[in-house]
Every structure is written in C-alpha cells, then in structure tokens.
Amino acid sequence: MNPLITIIILNWNGWKDTIECLESLYQINYTNFEVILVDNHSEDGSIQKIREYCKGKLEVKSKFFNYMNKNKPIKLIEFSNQETHNYLHKRDDSNLLSRKLILLKNDENYGFAEGNNIGIRFALKNLNPSHILLLNNDTIVDPRFLDEMVIATETYDKTGIVGAKLLNAYNPHIIDSTGHVLSWGRIVDRGHGEVDHGQYDQHKEVMGAMAAAALYNKEMLLEIGLLDTSYVTLGEDADLSWRAYNNDWKAIYAPKAIVYHKRGRSITRKSVLPEMTTLSTKNTADYVTRYGSSTHKFLFLLILLKEGLFVLIGSLIGKNNVNTSEYFDMLMKSYLKIFKSIFFINYG
C-alpha cells in the first residue's frame, strides 16, 4: 500500500521554519509523495531562501535531525499566481511528477484557508493523489509519520481524516493535539497541554484533526468541499472536521505518526494576539452555529459567558490583551447568532 500523497505547506514570512519542515520531510521513509509549497506573498525574502535551500546552499540546523547533503539539489518548479490558475487545465503533464518541490507564488496573502485551498485545487487537478496532507510550515515530522498515517487510512471504508500525534516542538513531552473532540459544544484539541505519558497511544476514532498535520481523503474533499474561506484563519480545520463528521466520514487518530509543532508561531506577536483572541471566539461561534445541535449550542453559550467574564475581569484589573469593546461587540453578535439558530431552523 503506497498511494500517492500530496503534501501542502503554506508559507508566509516564515522561511526559517519552512526549510526546517521541508528538510524533515525529505528524510522520511515514505517515498510516494509530492510537496506543494504555497507562498502567501511573503515579504521577508522567503522565495529566495527556499531556492537557496533547494540548491543545497542553505544548511538547516535542527535539534530533531541532522542536515542531509545527499538529497540536494532538490528539483524546483515555480508557478506565479497567474500560471497556477492557467495550469489547472493541463492535467496530463507527466514531467510534473518528476519534480521534487512545486512552488506556487501567490500575488497576495490569501489567508490560511484560501492559501491552502489553492494548493489543494492544484493537486487535485494535476497530481491526482489519493490523499491530501496539510502540514503547517512550523512543524517537524518524524521519519515514519506518513507511513503511519497511510496505514490508518485503511481503518474504515469511509476514513476521511487521519490526524497525527502533535507534540510541542519546544517541549516534546507536552501534547499539542491528539485529535479533534467535542467539549462543551465546540471542538477542542484532545490532550492539549498535558504531559505525554502514553495516555493517548492507542488508535482511536475522533471528531477530526488539527490542520497542522491532517491527512484528508481526496474523495471526501470532493464531496464536502475544501476549507471554508469565510474564516480566513483559525477554526477552518474544526469546521472541516465537523462537516466531515456530519457527512458520515470517519476520523482516525494515528498515535505513531509523530509531528512536532511550534504552535502559534505566526500569531504570537503582541500586536496580533488581541485580534486573534476575538477572531478565534467568533469563528468557533460560527461553526457551532452551523453544525451543532441545540445541546451543543446551549453548552457553548455557557463557554461564551465564562470567556466574557474573564475578559471583563481582565479589563477591570488592567491585565487584558484584547480590545474590550470590539470583543464584547463580537460576543453579543455571537450570542444573537446562536439563539437565532436554535429557534429558527432555516438560519443560514
């Protein structure tokens, strides 16, 4: 069992993380895969650095692996934004499969959802993989991670999603995620923040997977659609997990598929955190409204009440990192949206 897997990595002003991720990929055991790197209009010289890396002129230092010279140079094929869209009609170019890295250069920052969707659409129409793997650029993969994920795809006839065991790259003893599960009406990352002592080392059916390292069945994506671009960033993977679940696709957690994740690398700047906090809550309210039962929605209302209370207390004591007025405006709109969805079935 050696199906073609297309791995999609999205880069935005993060070439140092990206080349570490790429180097770990080019040292894995699995052989039948293609990598699409989508650059979301970086302004930090990322494209030039990636070219240098592929030529073997930029050595990668990592605590997770030793840099390898013998797999360089890496063949690189580049597409501008316009070329990417034009190429979608050329489905039978056999030369494309001989390439080792496909670089799609976007002409603007399309956000996480659409940035990845551009890569997914390119793969589906040109490479015809059996599965699409979304992999964050701030991850480092274990050599056997893809073997384990591919094996897990055979668990059920309708396995749509396989999730990896995500560990904190700064402290690998701490769990980042072992799959999406429901808690208090919304999707959370199982085990997040816990010390890893083997408590999640069994294959298990879950709700879905964090898109930092998630393997998606091509047929599932064609049936239920790609990442929802209304989210821009945060929550789009949870939306996809719940959408898949509601369409009877199974999600499996593969505990031996180890991936190390530098969670939040792109959103940890203080200037960005306030916006991300508000956006995360809003997006969660959106997918709970769309897919949750009345019970899920009532439970999530309690979570919103608790979060709102914490923000209010933080504001009163001067330890708040969010725009309070903006946050509470979003909170009230989310409350109204959820109430309307409970009492009016046809809410869109």
List pLDDT tens digits, range 8-61: 999 999 999 999 999 999 999 999 999 999 999 999 999 999 999 999 999 999
Residues 102, 233: Cα–Cα separation, whole Å: 23
What's the pTM value of the predicted model, to 2 decimals? 0.92
Domains (ranges, CATH) in the chain?
A: 5-261 (3.90.550.60), 273-343 (no CATH)
Cα 83 to Cα 80: distance, rounded to the nearest angstrom? 5
- Residue 166 exposed, middle or buried by CB count within 10 Å (0-12, 13-18, 19+): buried
DSSP 121-140: HHHHHHT--SEEEEEETTEE
Residue 91 CA: distances (Å) to CA of 9, 86, 94, 202, 207: 21, 11, 9, 40, 34
What pLDDT, on the 0 to 100 scale, is given for residue 85? 80
Pairwise CA distance, residues 140 & 19, whole Å: 10
Cα angle, residue 11 at apex, residues 8 and 16 outer, rounded to 5°: 115
Amino acid present at 255: P
pLDDT tens string 283-296? 999 999 999 999 99
- Helix/strand/coil for 216: strand
Contact yes or no for 132/226 (Cβ under 8 A): no
pLDDT tier at 276 (50, 70, 90 boundaries)?
A: confident
Cα dist from 86 to 105, 219, 258, 329, 331, whole Å:
13, 24, 37, 42, 42
Q: Please give the full DSSP string across 314-329, using - where no structure is assigned.
A: HHHTT---S-HHHHHH
Number of other CB atoms surrounding residue 269 within 10 Å: 10
CA-to-CA distance for 95 and 86, rounded, in angstroms?
17
Q: What is the pLDDT of residues 338-348, one digit of tens each?
A: 988 888 754 44
DSSP summary character for residue 97: G
Strand 213-217 relative to strand 76-80: parallel, antiparallel, unpaired?
unpaired
